[in-house]
Structure 1
Amino acid sequence: MRTLALDDEILLTIDKPARYIGCEVNSVMKDPEKVDIRFAMCFPDVYEIGMSHLGIQILYDMFNSWEDTWCERVYSPWVDLDKIMREKGIPLFALESQEPVKDFDFLGITIQYEMCYTNILQILDLSGIPLLAEEREETHPIVIGGGPCTYNPEPIADFFDIFYIGEGETIYRQLLDLYKEYKRTGITRREFLIQAAGLPGMYVPSLYETAYKEDGTIDSFTPKVEGIPRTVLKQIQMDLTDTYYPRKPIVPFTKITQDRVTLEIQRGCIRGCRFCQAGQLYRPVRERDVEMLKQCAVQMLDSTGQEEISLSSLSSSDYSKLEELVTFLMETCRERMVNISLPSLRIDAFSLDIMGKVQDVKKSSLTFAPEAGSQRLRDVINKGLSEEVILKGAAMAFEGGWTRVKLYFMLGLPTETEEDIRGIAELSNKIAALFFETVPKEKRTGQVQIVTSTSFFIPKPFTPFQWAKMNTKEEFLDKARLTKAAVREQLNQKRIKYNWHEADVSMLEGAFARGDRRLGQVIRKAYEKGCLYDSWSEFFKNDIWLETFEECGLDIDFYTVRERALDEIFPWDFLDCGVSREFLKREWIRAQEGIVTPNCKRQCQGCGAARFGGGICFEKRNAEGEIEDGAAQTLMEYAHLHESKETAGCPEEMILKEMCANDGEGGAQA
């Protein structure tokens, strides 16, 4: 008989008790006596945020498809329950069984953003698991981290036994089998971790050590145990069609951030924006088969009763079968009274035509992401979007009946000038003016509204801008004030609403993004002083963070406003995300020269992702946009050469030059 971990008295006194009771539709229950492995899958934020994350849904489905494994879910208790659990000594529990997390075999934590680091310590602390991996014993769960922040895991390395680098579908089965052998043979926890470090994509921080130079930069990063790899290569699922995908996603009892069915249509992005970490980490672009997606959509809608379906991708417009898929969904969803959401579309005639069909009754707002206010700066960041295209897209949107446009920009980009900043306000004004020029007065259904938002640029690992310096807090705020003043100077200022991000949070995120293992002590001390839910502005305690940096003898500016030398060793250099450092360096130099790099469909740039043996790297097209025979074989030969280091000293773009000779406008349009 399942017993709730929280009694009625507690449930009646806390906010949204449905967060903690489990038993949602499509959640999985198993007999704990009939499984070999108990896996607690954690998202270190509140339930409404964590339940919206597709990655956990995929892994939850995969783990529970195995008879020997029961995967359950864990989220960060909200501050009201956190206090009660500490006062009453209630251990953190999994939703499905309501049993303590400390009794599980694994605690898997997905790390989607840097500002959840203190929440990770909350999870460990409330579970009764020692915060430091070195203090854990045989009875404690193996704590494993995954997600985009593991591409620089060093600031939180002390708290994890293992990091899984890459996409979760590939190696977990091998890891769980190794764990079963560990339990059967009775080897020590350390021996298990050493064996786990030999699996592809597995990074065990305790088996590596860092040496520093006098200036605080890294001198070396080396394994402490013979036989474990010096470089950890990311794992990637190349076949996105015949793999795990939840046909019966969990339906929450309470409203969550993204309360809809999510259909992931592809991974990766062809665009190559130089600030975008996801665009580099998820290379190469891989598509799901359209027939599989049609089948999935119907099954998920049938099994959930959801009233909206969203197409998930970094750039949905680039999915080759988008029109066919949307046409199918429109027919299917019309019968079921289901809405279709299409985020991540480029604003062009094709995309607006699709949006117009989907939103033929109610025109919600459209989102443009110019990122920079001037064409010069858009070239620097390789946005691949001209002002002409932006204005043409806005005009078509207004003609199509939209009246509300959201614009997203960044402040503090490399080489930014005052002219670039003023360009944000000027572009916003041009778009507002375009409404009055485009839509006759008698056809206007409402007033135009332009919502212009700026965030502060944060350099991230494995991007061409990983060498760049951040602006200081004062510089960020000055630039936000300049933007606001420039908006007020515009003729259509009353039609423009301007918002900007918090500078303090951005500075801390910047430190964590490129930080090293020394930051672990800062994170732990800040947590012990009460820092929690740092991504929530009402709980962020900047003064405590700055105080803690000082107490630990570390300068936050060392991690943020300092520009890196091209040959500096980064904390993440022992990881291989598939994109070579030489490619990123080349793009950093091109950025400073304002040179645009064509997208992957127009011309292969030899980034290194071809080694994975599939995706867009193998889709060599002729002038008619047709995939040419023999392209895959050529790329396989390139991948072999790359791996065997036979091309040492030979620039990758030269190796691929002949291969890409026919990749022109035809390929781009395919």
Structure 2
Amino acid sequence: MRRTEKVSYKADDEVVNMRKLALSDEILMKIEKPARYIGGEVNSVMKTRDIPIRFAMCFPDVMEIGMSHLGIQILYDMFNKREDVWCERVYSPWTDLHKIMKEEQIPLFALESQDPIKEFDFLGITLQYEMCYTNILQILDLSGIHVYNHDRDENEPIVIGGGPCTYNPEPIADFFDIFYIGEGETVYDDLLDLYKECKASGKRRLEFLELAAEIPGLYVPMFYDVTYKEDGTIQSFVPDNSHAKPTIQKQVVMDMTGATYPEKPVVPFIKATQDRVVLEIQRGCIRGCRFCQAGMLYRPTRERDVNKLKEYARVMLKNTGHEEISLSSLSSSDYQELEELVTFLIEEFKDQSINISLPSLRIDAFSLDVMSKVQDVKKSSLTFAPEAGSQRMRNVINKGLTEEDILGGAGQAFEGGWNKVKLYFMLGLPNETEEDMKEIARLADRVARRYYEIPKEQRHGKCQITASSSFFVPKPFTPFQWAPMCHAEEYIRRASIVKHEFQEQLNRKSLKYNWHEADVTVLEGVFARGDRRVGKVIEEAYRLGCLFDSWSESFDNDLWMKAFENTGVDLDFYTMRTRDLDEIFPWDFIDIGVTKEFMKREWERANQGIVTPNCRQGCSGCGAGRYKGGVCVESKN
């Protein structure tokens, strides 16, 4: 492990002067959006290079996507509050700069110091979605860091992954030294303190990783062996190192009000995807949608104190200059102090023209009443997610919405001045029939019909209902993790059925329908439920030129199919099989609090179309009650 000098801080002008852009003016003039790479943004943190621990925080996508991610903003702020850590940021260079860096052998660099990533102690990569996996290899490749963990030497950073995709880290396990399972505010300080101790005592990389494996929530994949049965399923998954634990327990922040939160988030020079102040009002969700991974992973529900949120709103708007504030949650309507918070924001900032964004609202009178308070006189579109067209399918997925709820909510919205509604659905759900598919179009038509039922003088122009379908991906730690997927052609066939049904509707001129890319969905399914054998497919795809696979203009399905062919990995094995209830999953060594027995019960209830009440209606015994202080305070398991 590398030695560093003691901490020292320079005057602000010296800190600024030490920065020298890693890219020349000539290169910056050749590429799209050069402001992605120059650093120096408002509220970015500058320290000196002689800090004991240097941490490069990476989002493996372009800057304007990564800058919108709250998790990185939280960790960036938390790390930099320590005097012994300098946390900097790095994002995936777009394809134009990628090509130049490869040709001219320019090492990937951090935004703040412009220093090469390979010189850092840690490279932390957040894993928000599966289709960024080739970008992980881009980051390692451009940094000059060995792709495989067992090839890295003492002078390379510790590569650590965090985020929702770490709940099945196995497809990318060989590329990482550590995975952090859980919420970042919990044991990162323990890890950083351990690293300092190991450096001071001259311990080597392997010794540090062994001690890191003893910290709760940290998974060191090189310390585990996997064996497979003749049919390709997993036979065993066991630690081969005395420091490694057979089960990794998810780490959870129970005191959300007292948890660290960035009061001075970084403000980029270019427009980010979400160019606004973000107030995280709660974590977790009381709903039990059976397709929703986040709803299971982030149990139990934990709310932030409303007075603390008011304080954050004041200081963050002042420190950023943003003109919009967004209330972040998996289900904002379920935050118990939502009305008080929204009323405060309206009154407090009424003279500052601050817009208020309320994502993740349900279709009910309360949500619409709250929404009506924050919308301008000219109403924008409302977004609802019925997820399924028929009541039968909504019961299967445990959505907890009736058609009466949907049409009643839409009617109240129309009467309140809205005339545009977006409806989100899924196709390919377990037990779906052709009649269920057609009900998507019929429900959209009934929503439009509800608009034309209000008196003509109360209408605000023509009604526009836009329905969108994504294709179902069975995610780990959901009751649908046993379900099969469809081939891409079958997904398209189902979308065509829905499209044709839209054309048959009475109000078809007020309806619009679109759907997600089917081939991307299939790959996402492979990566979501894959095992370590999938890693060689990802490496081969990157070698063939796959990059920015979540971007339509960059995605090349033919190259991915070539990667599967070249590596001999059977794509259908990961997508088309219905899993046996007793099959060992690649992620079974992770304990998220919600038990596998609960998932099995919910899978069986789904097949019977039985609805499970939400957490406030009654405890369903999911197991998350072990985390005291959340909505769920006891478990039946």
Pick the aligned partner of 1:18 from 13, 35, 46: 35
Alignment match, 2:509:
494
In 2: Cα distance, 1:333 partner to 1:99 partner: 41
2-side partners of 1:444 and 1:579: how far apart?
Answer: 47
Is the aligned partner of 1:545 residue 2:567?
Answer: no
Amino acid at match of 1:251: V
Q: 2:274 pairs with 245, 255, 258, which one?
A: 258
| Contact 1:370/1:408 (<8 A) preserved | yes
Corresponding residue for 1:600? 615
For each residue in 1:586-641, what CA deviation from the matched residue of structure 2 results, as whole angstroms up to 9, or x when unmatched?
A: 000000000000000000011111111111013xxxxxxxxxxxxxxxx4xx6xxx
Separation (CA, whole Å) in 1 of partners of 2:142 and 2:466: 41
What's the offset of the Cα at 1:494?
Answer: 0.8
Residue type matched to 1:7 in 2? S
3-state DSSP of counterpart to 1:334: coil
Equivalence for 1:118: 134
Q: Give the match for residue 310 of structure 1.
A: 326
**What is the alpha-carbon distance in structure 2 between the residues aligned to residue 295 and residue 351 of structure 1?**
23
Structural mapping, 1:382-393, within 5 Å: 382-393=398-409
My pick for the range that moved more, 266-275 or 609-618, is: 609-618
Local SS of the residue matching 2:439:
helix
Q: Which amino acid aligns with 2:581?
A: L
Within the candidate set 215, 219, 222, 2:235 is matched to 219
Q: Is the 8 A contact 2:140 2:147 kept in 1?
A: yes
Give the whole-Å Cα distance in 1 for the aligned partners of 2:186 and 2:491.
41
Q: Which residue of 1 aligns with 2:154?
A: 138
Q: Report the AA paired with residue 221 of structure 1.
A: F
User: What pairs up with 1:37-116 in 2 under 5 angstroms?
Assistant: 37-116=53-132
Q: What's 1:528 paired with? A: 543
Aligned match for 1:450, one of 456, 465, 469 = 465
- Whether the aligned pair in 2 keeps the contact of 1:333 and 1:340 (CA below 8 Å) is no
Cα gap change, 1:284 to 1:457, in 2 (>3 Å): same
Contact persistence 2:171–2:530 (CA under 8 A): yes
- Give the Cα–Cα distance (whole angstroms) in 1 for the partners of residues 460 and 439 of structure 2: 29
Letter in 2 for 1:566: L
1:445 CA displacement? 2.2
Which residue in the other structure is 1:429 paired with?
445
RMSD: 0.8
The 8 Å contact of residues 297 and 592 in structure 2, kept in 1 or not, is answered as yes
Give the Å deviation of 1:333.
2.4
Aligned to 2:480, the other structure's residue is in SS state helix
Instruction: Identify which of 290, 299, 316 aligns with 1:274.
Output: 290
| CA-to-aligned-CA distance 1:104-159 (integer Å, 9 cap, x gap) | 00000000000000000000000000111111000000000000000000000000
Counterpart CA distance in 1 for 2:188 and 2:202 is 21
Corresponding residue SS for 1:578: coil
1:482 is matched by which residue type in structure 2? I
Letter in 2 for 1:525: E
Structure 1's unaligned 5+ residue stretches are 619-634, 639-650, 653-670
- Checking the alignment, whether the CA contact within 8 Å between 1:429 and 1:493 is kept in structure 2 is yes
Q: Secondary structure at the match of 2:586?
A: coil
How far, CA to CA, are the matches of 1:368 and 1:227 in structure 2?
A: 48
Cα deviations across residues 467-487 of structure 1 (Å, max 9, x unaligned)?
Answer: 000112121111000000000
Partner of 2:304: 288
> For each residue in 1:531-550, what CA deviation from the matched residue of structure 2 results, as whole angstroms up to 9, or x when unmatched?
00000111111111112112
Q: Secondary structure at the match of 1:466?
A: coil
* C-alpha distance in structure 1 between counterparts of 2:243 and 2:138, whole Å: 34
In the alignment, which residue of structure 2 is the partner of 1:658? Answer: none
Asked if structure 1 preserves the Cα contact closer than 8 Å seen for 2:218 and 2:248, the reply is yes
Q: CA deviation at 1:227?
A: 3.9
Q: Partner letter of residue 587 of structure 2? A: W
Whether the 8 Å contact between 1:24 and 1:251 is mirrored in structure 2 is yes
- The alignment covers a number of residue pairs equal to 620
> Which residue, 234, 239, 251 being the options, matches 2:250?
234
Question: 1:31 is matched with which residue?
Answer: 48
- 2: CA distance between counterparts of 1:69 and 1:160? 21
Q: CA deviation at 1:221?
A: 0.1
Distance 1:328 1:18 in 2: 36
Amino acid at match of 1:511: V
* Alpha-carbon offset, residue 186 of structure 1: 1.5
CA distance in 2 between partners of 1:591 and 1:158 (Å): 35
Report what 2:15 is aligned to. Answer: none
Looking at structure 2, the residues matched to 2 and 500 of structure 1 have their Cα atoms a distance apart, in angstroms, of: 46
1:360 Cα deviation (Å)? Answer: 4.1
State yes or no: 1:348 paired with 2:364. yes
Structure 1 residues 551-584: Cα deviation after superposition (integer angstroms, max 9, x where no partner): 2111101000110000000000000111000000
Cα distance, 1:347 vs. partner? Answer: 1.5
Counterpart in the other structure of 1:155: 171
CA contact (8 A) 2:415 2:458 kept: no
Other-structure match for 2:522: 507
1:331 shift after superposition: 1.0
Which of 586, 591, 596 is the equivalent residue of 1:581?
Answer: 596
Q: Tell me the distance in 2 between the aligned counterparts of 1:544 and 1:486.
A: 34
User: Once the 2 structures are TM-superposed, how far is the Cα of residue 373 of structure 1 from its aligned partner?
Assistant: 0.7
| 1:283-341, Cα deviation, whole Å (9 max, x unpaired) | 00000000000000000000011010000000000000000000000112212111000
- In structure 1, distance between residues paired with 2:259 and 2:587: 29
1:334 alignment counterpart: 350
Match of 1:3 in 2: 20
Could you state the TM-score of these two structures normalised by the residue count of structure 2? 0.97
Give the letter for the 1:266 counterpart: Q
Q: Is the 8 A contact 2:234 2:586 kept in 1?
A: yes
Confirm whether residue 571 of structure 1 aligns to residue 582 of structure 2. Answer: no
Report SS of the residue matched to 2:227: strand
Aligned counterparts of 1:573 and 1:367: Cα–Cα separation in 2:
35
Contact residue 2 and residue 97 of structure 1 kept, 8 A: yes
Quote how far apart the aligned CAs of 1:188 are: 1.8
Asked if 1:462 corresponds to 2:462, the answer is: no
- The residue aligned with 1:660 is none
In structure 2, C-alpha distance between the alignment counterparts of 1:226 and 1:353, rounded to whole Å: 57
Give 2:388's aligned residue.
372
Is the 2:385–2:424 Cα contact (8 Å) retained in structure 1? yes
> Quick one: distance in 2 between partners of 1:176 and 1:362?
51
Identity of aligned residues (%): 69
In structure 1, give the amino acid aligned to 2:147: L
CA distance in 2, matches of 1:186, 1:122: 31
Tell me, in whole angstroms, the C-alpha distance in 1 between the residues paired with 2:576 and 2:314: 50
Q: Which residue of 2 aligns with 1:198?
A: 214
Which range moved further: 82-91 or 543-552?
543-552
User: What is the CA distance between 1:443 and its match in structure 2?
Assistant: 2.7
Q: Give 2:199's aligned residue.
A: 183
Q: How far, CA to CA, are the matches of 2:116 and 2:233 in structure 1? A: 41
CA distance in 1, matches of 2:327, 2:425: 23
What letter corresponds to residue 6 of structure 1 in structure 2? L
Contact 2:220 2:244 in 1 (8 A): no
Amino acid across the alignment from 2:621: G
Q: Which runs of 5+ in 2 are unaligned?
A: 1-17
- Name the CA shift for 1:10/1:421 in 2 (closer, same or farther; >3 Å): same
Aligned residue identity for 2:41: E
Structure 1 distance, partners of 2:364, 2:384, is: 10
Query: What's the CA shift for 1:441?
Result: 1.7
Counterpart of 2:575, as a letter, is T
